[in-house]
Amino acid sequence: MKRFFLIILILFSSAMVWGQSLAYKTLLKGVYDKEFPLVYPEDKILTEEVLFLDTREISEFEVSHIKDAKWVGYDTFSLNAISEIPKNKDIVVYCSIGARSQEIGKKLKEAGYQNVYNLYGGIFHWVNEGHPVFDEHGKTNRVHAYSKTWGIWLNKGDKVY
């Protein structure tokens, strides 16, 4: 009988892990515009001279960000802040999950930037996939989880609210 309950527990736990992954994928599918290009953490373009633009708020960026990312914000975003960036530069925008960054990415495209991609799953997916994040002192495990509601999608790292 104990073995039966152990098997049920393992199956239930496995279903929960799969369910969360499926739920996250479903959430992202509903957020993303099919016409806006995505880039995944494992994509080759990310190993080249790509410029990461962090579209979260400054308090989120200060907790941690992708190495060498430039903060541009969302509510305070201005094209003037990126006027020195060449229009043909490979740019990857990101936020927590990719909703805010997609909107900023669209503004960049409208302004004539040619190679703009949205990071699939944002910084949450980046960290969940084992990629590092940094603060002003170097590598960190801390990640701004935006809110407790959105923080459920961040499975690795130390959540900061």
Residue numbers annotated as active site: 95
Count helices and strands in the chain by DSSP H and E runs = 4, 9
Rg (CA), the chain: 18
Q: Which residue has the tokens 């043909």?
A: 88
Cα gap 72→65, rounded to integer Å: 12
DSSP H stretches of helix in the chain: 2-31, 58-63, 99-110, 122-128
Closest CA to 102 of 68, 153, 110, 61: 110
Report the first-to-last Cα separation within the chain, whole angstroms.
43
Distance of CA 125 to the CA centre of its chain: 6
